Amino acid sequence: MELEHRDEGVVVRGERGELAIARDDEVAWKLLMLVEGECGPDTRIDVAERFGFSRQRYYQVRAAFRRQGAAGLAGGQRGPKRNYRRGGEASRQIIRYRFLNPDVSAEVIGQKLRQDGFAISDRSVYRVLEDFGLQKKGSTNAGRGGPRTASR
C-alpha cells in the first residue's frame, strides 16, 4: 500500500487500484492518519503533521477511536456546552432584582447587571425571567418594549 499526499487529500494505491480520500471527509481522514501512524514506518508525530494535526491531537484522536471506534472520529459540537452568561450568580441577581421591584423591565435589570460588572444582554435577562416564570403579568412581550396600545 502506498500513500500519495496531495492538497485536496490523499490517494491510497494498492495492487488492484487506488482510493482517494478528501480532507473534508473527517472520519476517513482521521482513520487513515491512525492507520498510517500506527502501522507505517514513520513516527506518529510526522504522520500527524502530514495530516494537519498536532502530536497532542493525534493522541486525542487515537484515544477516541479506541473508546468508540469510528464513531469517536466524528467531530462533536463545538462551542459552549451551557449558558455561561445566564448561569449562577447572574441568574440569582436577575431574580433578586425582579423580586425587589416586580415592575422593573428586563432592560433595566440588564443595565443594572452590566453596571455591576456582568457581561449580559437584555435578551438573556428576558430568557432568565421566562425560565423562572417571572415575566410581567398581562404582557407576553415583557422586556421587548411592552404591549402596544392604540391611542387617538
Same domain, 10 and 68: yes
Same domain, 6 and 29: yes
Residue 152's pLDDT band (cuts 50, 70, 90): very low
What are the pLDDT digits (tens) for 74-115? 887 777 776 666 678 888 999 999 999 888 899 999 999 999
Whether residue 53 has pLDDT greater than 80: yes
Q: How far apart are CA 1 and CA 8, in angstroms?
A: 19
| Judgement on whether residues 68 and 84 belong to the same structural domain of the protein | no
Q: Comparing C-alpha atoms, which of 6, 70, 7, 67 is closest to residue 35?
A: 70
* Vertex 67: Cα angle to 65 and 72 (nearest 5): 45
Q: How far apart are CA 64 and CA 68, in angstroms?
A: 6
3-state secondary structure (DSSP) of residue 4: strand
pLDDT in the model for residue 28: 92
Under 8 Å between Cβ of 9 and 29: yes
Q: Which of 73, 90, 121 is the C-terminal boundary of a domain? A: 73
Residues 134 and 111 in one domain: yes
Whether 51 and 88 map to the same domain: the answer is no
Question: What is the distance between the terminal CA atoms of the chain, rounded to a whole angstrom?
Answer: 83
> Does residue 58 contact residue 48 with C-beta atoms inside 8 Å?
yes
In a domain, 152, yes or no: no
**Total Cβ atoms within 10 A of residue 93:** 18
Domain boundary among 14, 42, 73: 73
Q: Residues 48, 92: one domain?
A: no
- Single residue among 45, 73, 101 that ends a domain in this structure: 73
Report if residue 150 sits inside a domain. Answer: no
Same domain, 89 and 134: yes
Distance CA 146, CA 34 (A): 58
Residue 149: inside a domain, yes or no? no
Does some domain include residue 88?
A: yes
Number of domains the chain contains:
2
- For the segment 42-58, the average pLDDT, to the nearest whole number, is 93
| The pLDDT of residue 62 | 96
- Both 67 and 104 in one domain: the answer is no
pLDDT of residue 84: 64
Is 135 domain-assigned?
A: yes
Residues 112, 66 share a domain: no
Expressed as residue numbers, the domain containing 110 is 79-141
